[in-house]
Amino acid sequence: MDIQPAVYILASRRNGTLYTGVTGNLPRRVWLHANNVVEGFSSRHKTHRLVWYECHETMESAILREKRIKKWERRWKLALIEEVNPYWRDLWPEVCC
């Protein structure tokens, strides 16, 4: 996977707590979350499983998408995840290799 801007959703478990973020380096950022290097919401709520991500051409478009998703109702976020990842598997192997 090329390093490029991405929007991502982490989950504590299936239908658990969700965290939406944006980054310029998805493999590195997910690793930081998974290893509790990033203090804050993600480490407190143990949102370590990458369940959805979307790559973007520019950081500006990724930030815009992240802001929109953060305003969504929870059920919309769940539908977004389940559309591409119905079993809520951890997508980390897809982005780290």
Read off the CATH number of the domain in which 48 is found: 3.40.1440.10
Whether 52 maps to a domain, the answer reads: yes
Separation between Cα atoms, residue 32 and residue 26, nearest integer Å: 10
The DSSP annotation for the chain comes to -----EEEEEESSTTS-EEEEEES-HHHHHHHHHTT-S-SHHHHHT--EEEEEEE-SSHHHHHHHHHHHHHS-HHHHHHHHHHH-TT----HHHHH-
Q: What total number of domains does the chain contain?
A: 1
Whether 1 maps to a domain, the answer reads: no
The tens-digit pLDDT sequence of the chain (97 residues) is 457 999 999 999 999 999 999 999 999 999 999 999 978 999 999 999 999 999 999 999 999 999 999 999 999 999 999 999 999 999 999 887 6
Range of the domain at 52: 6-96
Whether 66 maps to a domain, the answer reads: yes
Whether 18 maps to a domain, the answer reads: yes
